[in-house]
Amino acid sequence: MSLAEQFPAITQRNQPLAPYTHLKIGGPAQYLVQPRTLEELNAVLAACRQDKLQVRMLGGGFNLLVRDDPLPGVVIRLTAEPFTFLKRSGRRVVAGGGGQLFDLIAFCVRAGLGGLETLIGIRGTVGGSVRCNVGDRTAEISQTVRNVTVLTEAGTVQVRSRDELTFREHASDIDEPVILSVEFELENDLPAAIVKRMRKAWILRKATEPLSFQAGVRLFRNPPGQTAASLIDRAAMTKAKVGAAELSERNSNYVIAHPGSTARDILQLIALVRDKVKQRTGVLLEQELHVW
């Protein structure tokens, strides 16, 4: 029995992924599954193990490029309440992995809990944001993470404490298939002080990103002590273009997918930029954007 036959209420076959990604690019997934409960998620993963189907987790698609061709296997989105909840206990907040980072930040600000507010404006789910250790030079989400509850390949729920996890710029060593929830430890603070820091961070972030109507994603990690954008500019690749994909004039470390762009255009542009930066500055840029 196929996955669609086993889980008809939550499975879509040959579902285009473009609408679920920020770039609005990407071919169809063999199966797109949106489980309603942990039990259902477990049953889907067990069926995937049995049928040897590759499983991929899709968050908000803000750090993701999906290739143009059909994608074999199963893509899972955690959109139901058991995966998007927010719960507070003193200075600790537990957030479902499928919930929005924005909702988590707003929840903490309202509760007078500081620590996440300077991440305002970074879009994504809690799971995707912790897996990608979002942040900037001033703060990273990992600073407030206390533990991460994951679902392992074998289908068991495990809690990984902060001491067991390794985070680096825009990356973590969390390699289990699913981040179910994350517990954060925050600081009590005056809401007015938190809001002030949040406003400042918002203004700074928005000034260095593509305009809000543009479909743009970040390409490379910043090498220590340098920014990927300045290396790209030094390599004379400002506003470089392949097909309808073009580097942002506001920040060269973002690619803008103009209407008609394909994943192929973006992958070619990434390769071109990386080669030119290596040739002209000697630095090999490390890709931040996840590609399926």
Ligand X SMILES: Cc1cc2nc3c(=O)[nH]c(=O)nc-3n(C[C@H](O)[C@H](O)[C@H](O)COP(=O)(O)OP(=O)(O)OC[C@H]3O[C@@H](n4cnc5c(N)ncnc54)[C@H](O)[C@@H]3O)c2cc1C
Q: Which residues of this protein are in contact with ligand X, per CB under 6 A? A: 22, 56-64, 78, 97-98, 122-125, 127-129, 131-132, 134-136, 170, 178-179, 205, 209-210, 216-218, 290
Contact partners, residue 244, CB within 8 Å, separation at least 6:
257, 258, 259, 260, 261, 262, 265
Rounded least distance, CB 123 to ligand X, Å:
5
Encoded tokens for 50: 């049995």
Unique residue bearing structure tokens 């068991």:
156
Q: Which is nearer to ligand X, 275 or 286 (CB)?
A: 286
Nearest to 145 by CA among 175, 124, 166: 166
Q: Which is nearer to ligand X, 19 or 282 (CB)?
A: 19
User: By the 8 A CB rule, do 74 and 54 touch?
Assistant: yes
Rounded least distance, CB 256 to ligand X, Å:
10
Encoded tokens for 62: 């803000």
Q: Which is nearer to ligand X, 115 or 210 (CB)?
A: 210
Q: Which residue is nearest to ligand X (CB)?
A: 59
Rounded least distance, CB 284 to ligand X, Å:
20
DSSP secondary structure of 118-137? GGTT--SBHHHHHHTT-B-S
Rounded least distance, CB 59 to ligand X, Å:
2
Q: Which is nearer to ligand X, 95 or 235 (CB)?
A: 95
Rounded least distance, CB 76 to ligand X, Å:
8
HSE-CB at 81 with a 13 A cutoff on CA atoms is: 1
Q: Which is nearer to ligand X, 64 or 273 (CB)?
A: 64
Instruction: Give pairs for 15-18: CB < 8 Å, separation 24+.
Output: 15/75, 17/58, 17/61, 17/66, 17/71, 17/75, 18/66
